[in-house]
Each structure stands twice: as C-alpha cells, then as structure tokens.
Structure 1
Amino acid sequence: MAAPAWRSLRRGTSGGVASLVELGEGHGLDPADCLQGSGLRESDLRVDGAVVLAEQELAVIANIVSLLNDPPGLGIEAGRMVNLGNLGIFVFAMLSSETLGDAVEVATRFASLTNTYSDLSVTYDESGSDVRLECSFGDVHDDVRPFILERDLTVIAGLVPMVLGDVVLPRVEAEVDRARGALLASVLPTEELVCDAGRTALVVPREWMSRGLPHADAETARRCIAQCEQQLEQRRLGARSLVWARLHASDEPVQSLTRLAGELHVDRRTLQRRLAREGTTFRALLEESRRIRAAEALTGTDRPVAEIAAGLGYAETAAFTRAFTRWYGVTPTRYRARNA
C-alpha cells in the first residue's frame, strides 16, 4: 500500500506522526498499535524535527484507518491538528507573493517541503474563463486515500484565508462520496462542493490569478523562495540526511546497514546506492556519529566510559578507547578531564 521507496525523502517529520498518534489515542487506540509495522518507536516521536519517510507515515495512517474502520471525517480531524506554522517557510513564501498566480507557482514548486501528499498543477477550462488548481495524490493507495484527501483539503482550507483574505471559492471538486462531502462542506470556504468528481480541484475565475495578495512583500518573498530552494536541494540529498538523523537521534545503536534499511522499509542495496551517489557510506556516517556522540557524552554527562562505549555499540571498552584516541589524539578519560 505504500508509495514507492524514496518517494518521500521530502515528506514529514516526527511531529506530524506524533499528531497522528495523538489522533489515534483520542479515539481509544494504543500508540504501539498506531506505529505497528512503521519502523518507528514512541521515542522517535520525541526527537524534534526528525525526518520520517512517507512509507512510515502512510503505515501509521493505514493502521489508524483500519483499526477505526475509516469513519468519514477522521481526516478532517487530522487536518485541524496540523499547525499551519509548522509548514515552515513555504507558507511565508506564499503569503508574501505578489499575486495569487505567484502564490500558486510557489505551491507547485515547493509542495514537497510540506507533509501533505497533494501535488498542485494548474489547468485552464476550455472556455478560458476559469482556472483549475488540481490536487493530485499520486501513488497514495485507495485504503488511505479518503483520509489523506480529507486531511489535505482541510489544510488547504486553512491556507486559503491566510493567502487570499476573506474570500469564498466559487467551486471545489473532490474525489469523495457524499457522506464525506457533507462534512467537508462545513470546512471548505466554497460556494459549491462537487462530490464524486474524477479529480480534486479548486476552481477560480482566471482573473483571480492576477489578484494582488494582502500580505505581498517582494523582498520577503525573494528571501523565502531562496530558503525553499535551499531546503529542496537538501531534501534531494535525503539519503545521507535520513541515515544521519537515524544514527544520531537513536537511543539504541544501529550497527548494520541491513538493520537500518529494514527499519526504514527500503532495500539494503537501494540505500547503499543512494549513499554512494551522495559520496558517503553507512560505515563512514556511523563512525562520524559515534565520534560526535562520544564527545558529547564525555563532556555533557558523568556516565562511566565503559557505559558510553556500550551505548555506542562497542563490545569492548578497549576498542572504543582505541577509536576515540584515533579521533581526538587522547584517551576518553584524558579528554573528559581536559574539557571538564
């Protein structure tokens, strides 16, 4: 049911999954059941900003939807829990755009920086009088599609007044049945909601695309777009970032590429190739993580050296001491004393 591997190096943080688990708990589910099969633990959700694969988030959504029998409106609840400020610089780039057309261009270019699954495209009706802002949900499986569609439309509903001000959209078309449509109608600022549509789209007059926005600021927009581009480039180098985040944030040492690939639900060789393309290896990242964490533990805690060594995955303290001396030129004990 999950999207193809690596589709989501762009998607999500631990905070987004934490909100999903909170949603499940609100409906009587156990967090462990929500996380089943995702490769995530409850402790992972407490690591601020940790990267989460779409496959992992989709597994959590699938668990919640299945355990609760997919009730209409559950996605709306999830959408209301999304803090629009957590969408980051993307939102400010849209808000400061000069026109709606500029804001839509920002959305189409940088939607992958958000934790939504809808990709925006612009099409013009044959009459030329209307513009369709179509939301495509790509490879999202049918089992979770209604939930995600509800959630993402609810997030979009929160963005519309922020970007356009106090307006009502002429028409929204949605790939939902009438039961879900009735609930969405109370959320979406629209004059008409068309259910059972072949595509999900916001339909607005063509002249709206040149409409000036209330918070337009050219310099702010330029800076925000530059930051969005930088973040997008960082996401393209996602394999290294993802492995690093998992190694450096984990409470338990991850000692093998095979185990890490299994936890991320990706093929070991695929992960290995991705790292090679980015000029590194799992072993190099593991050693660098150990080097940094060892220094942090020696200067920031009073844990015994043997305990630190074990926590970093060393079977013998002597092996850790040799490695540490190679990194820093002194033994762990001497390094601690020098930096006390």
Structure 2
Amino acid sequence: MTHSVKLPAWDFRRGMATARVMTQVGCERGAPLEVLLHQTGIAPEHLEDPHAEIEAAQEIQLIRNLLHALGNPADLGVEVGKRYKLTTYGLWGFALLSSPTLGDAMNLGLRMMNQTFSLTRHSMQQVGDQVHVVYFDEHLPPDVRRFVMDRDRAMGPTVQREVLGRPVAYSAVDMKQPEPDAAQVARLTELFGVCPTFGATQHRSIFPAALLSERLPQADPHTARLCEDMCRELVEARNSRRTGVAAKVRDRLLRTPGHIPDMEQIAAEMHMTSRTLRRHLTAEGATFRGLLEEVRSTLAVELMARARLTHGEIAERLGYADVTTFIEAFRRWKGMPPSEYRRQQGLRPSHGRLNRPMLRA
C-alpha cells in the first residue's frame, strides 16, 4: 500500500532563529555580520528578538551573502544544517518530541512545516516496507539550491536523532549532485550512517517503515496535542500577516468567496501584467498558488463552521472541479479529511439544501 503526504508550501514567514544560526556560522568562519545582513532587511538587533519573523526571500538573500562571503565551501550546507536542534524550532520541536511514535512525529512535522525553516519541499511516501522521503528544490534560485538542499537534509537526521534517542537507520540516501571529494563523502556518510548514491534522479532518503511505529522515549500524547494546536494557531497567524503586494492579493482573494479570481484578473485589477505580479510576489517570498491555498484553507473552515455547507458545495465555492479534489486539498492542509475534521471540531455534518441556487466559483 502506498500513502503519501505532500506539502507544497515553502515561502511562509519563519522565525528569526534560522537567521541567527546562519549568521553565527558565518561569523565563526570570519564573515562580518554587516556583510551577512546586507540587503536582507534584517538589523542586528532583530537577531535576538524572539518574536521577530522574516520572509523566505530575506532568508534566501542571507544565504547568498553567506555563500559569497565564505567562498561557497562544499561543506557549508551540511555544517549549518547540523546546527538546527529541536530547541531551535520552539513549539514545533517540542510537539515532535512529545509525539507517541516516530510516525506520528513525522506526520505532525510535515503538516506543520510552516513552523520550520525549510526552504525545500517534501513528500513522504510508504512503498512496501520502506518509507521514501523526497526533497524538491526546483522552485529555488539555482545559486542557492545546493546549500539549501544540503542544509535541509542535514536537519533531518539531526532532529530525528533527538526525537528517537538514537540515529535513524537509513536504507539508502540518494543525491542528485555529482560525487564530491572523499572528505565530503565521509562527512555525509557519518551524517546519514550510509554512503549516499550520487548522480541520482532525485533527492531521496529511504528508511524501514517499521521505524514509524517505534515509541518515542519522551512521548506524551496530551502535550503533543496541545503543542500541535498551538502550532496550528501560529501557522494561521503567520498566514494572515502578509504584507505588501502579497497582502493585497490575499485580501482580494478573500473578498469574493463565491467567485475566486485567477491571477490574470487580479493582475488586471492592480493595473499590471501577471508576469509583473508574479515578480512582485517572488520578491516578497510568496506565490499566487500559495496565497490561493491559504485563502481556500481559511474559507473551507469558515464555510464548515458557519454556513454548514456540504463538501460538494464548499468545493464549488472554492473553485474546485469536483469534491474529490477538494477533499485531497483539505487533507493536505489539515492532515485529515474534512469529515474527520468536522468530527474533531464537533461540527454537525450538513446534508445540503434543496432548491437552492449554487454560486459558481
């Protein structure tokens, strides 16, 4: 049986801890702080502010500065990734640590990816007796892809080791890049516990599915649920704090829930081409697709709670071609189908309304 969970989001706002980790490594290697923060919009005092957040685009600029200042050393991504501990992630890390099993922790972690510092996209899929975690980087600027991939992949075994209490026994690790020098191969082999395969068609880590059912040493389901609820509130709050052009697009999408406009229509209303709109959103670390997902997720919950519409009616109002596509999207947003979400939230399922005209999305 094959089961997959995909999380397309990557351009979410993130905590300042990720900038703090990277500037610490850069300064340790001799880079001046002002050089690392150049054109990022991050002031030195922001690094110590526990409530400060940055856009993905700001983090990408910081990465560019770091690479340029240090001469793009081959080991930099892995070295930085190993610095991200469970405590770096705050509530997200505590929620993982408190989960009943490794599988619960990984599923929660993927659902709440907006509480991490990942810039890559991930999918987790069970194939037979193995779990495949695939990493995607095609959406990232080419000049930072290698660093980001190395960093985000190094985060994985580091966090998993803290959660499980011991290293995860990987069956295989695939990397798209050519084989590096012997020293770098040795570092990667030590990190993953297995020598990677280089020149692969995709970035992928494989481990036995039996590990998913292993009980975690600090499991506390009640604490895990509390942390997950708090993480979800933070995710929703971050999604609502859009600024600039992204905020205007999000507000426009929310304005007419019965008829959600496409990118061309919104661009025309803002007196620009869709290409210009896309460029503005990219500069702010956002995408039209990501904003549309945020809005649809928000509206779906509101329509369930207040309008008591059927899933088919909600799907139509949100612009989905059929109810199956909506259900798949809802599972991606909330980690469960809408029927289960209704049950957990105590929402009475609706049986629809007769002789009632439908709004076309």
Residues 293-319 of structure 1, C-alpha deviation per residue, up to 9 Å, x if partnerless?
A: xxxxxxxxxxxxxxxxxxxxxxxxxxx
Partner of 1:84: 86
Partner of 1:63: 65
Q: CA deviation at 1:59?
A: 0.3
2:240, 2:53 → 1: CA distance? 13
Residues 165-220 of structure 1, C-alpha deviation per residue, up to 9 Å, x if partnerless?
A: 324222222333322444322222x2342222222222112333233333222212
CA contact under 8 A between 1:157 and 1:187: conserved in structure 2?
Answer: yes
Aligned letter for 1:96? S
Which of 40, 43, 46 in structure 1 is aligned with 2:45?
43
2:221, 2:74 → 1: CA distance? 41
Aligned letter for 2:112? F
Residue 193 of structure 1: SS of its match in structure 2?
coil
Residue 125 of structure 2: SS of its match in structure 1?
strand
Aligned letter for 2:150? E
Q: CA deviation at 1:56?
A: 0.7
Name the TM-score, length of structure 2 as normaliser: 0.59
Residue 53 of structure 2: SS of its match in structure 1?
coil
Q: CA deviation at 1:74?
A: 0.8
Partner of 2:202: 199
Aligned letter for 1:173? D
Sequence identity percentage: 26
Structure 1 residues 138 and 233, CA, compared in 2 at 3 Å: closer, same or farther?
farther
Let me know the Cα RMSD of the aligned residues: 3.1
Aligned ranges for residues 32-181 of structure 1 at < 5 Å?
32-125=34-127, 128-137=128-137, 139-167=139-167, 168-179=169-180, 180-181=184-185
Q: CA deviation at 1:31?
A: 1.9
Structure 1 residues 133 and 67, CA, compared in 2 at 3 Å: closer, same or farther?
same
Name the TM-score, length of structure 1 as normaliser: 0.63
1:266, 1:120 → 2: CA distance? 22
Structure 1: 5+ residue stretches without partners: 1-5, 244-261, 278-340
Residue 142 of structure 2: SS of its match in structure 1?
coil
Partner of 1:249: none
CA contact under 8 A between 2:99 and 2:105: conserved in structure 1?
Answer: yes
Residue 36 of structure 2: SS of its match in structure 1?
helix
Aligned letter for 1:37? Q
Q: CA deviation at 1:72?
A: 0.8
Residues 99-151 of structure 1, C-alpha deviation per residue, up to 9 Å, x if partnerless?
A: 222122112101121112233322233xx231202233352222111111222
Count matched residues.
242
Instruction: Give 1 or 2 for the bigger CA radius of gyration.
Output: 1
Structure 1 residues 65 and 213, CA, compared in 2 at 3 Å: closer, same or farther?
same
Structure 1 residues 174 and 107, CA, compared in 2 at 3 Å: closer, same or farther?
farther
Q: CA deviation at 1:65?
A: 0.9
Aligned ranges for residues 1-340 of structure 1 at < 5 Å?
8-13=11-16, 15-125=17-127, 128-137=128-137, 139-167=139-167, 168-179=169-180, 180-188=184-192, 190-239=193-242, 266=284
Structure 1 residues 163 and 7, CA, compared in 2 at 3 Å: closer, same or farther?
closer
Q: CA deviation at 1:266?
A: 4.0
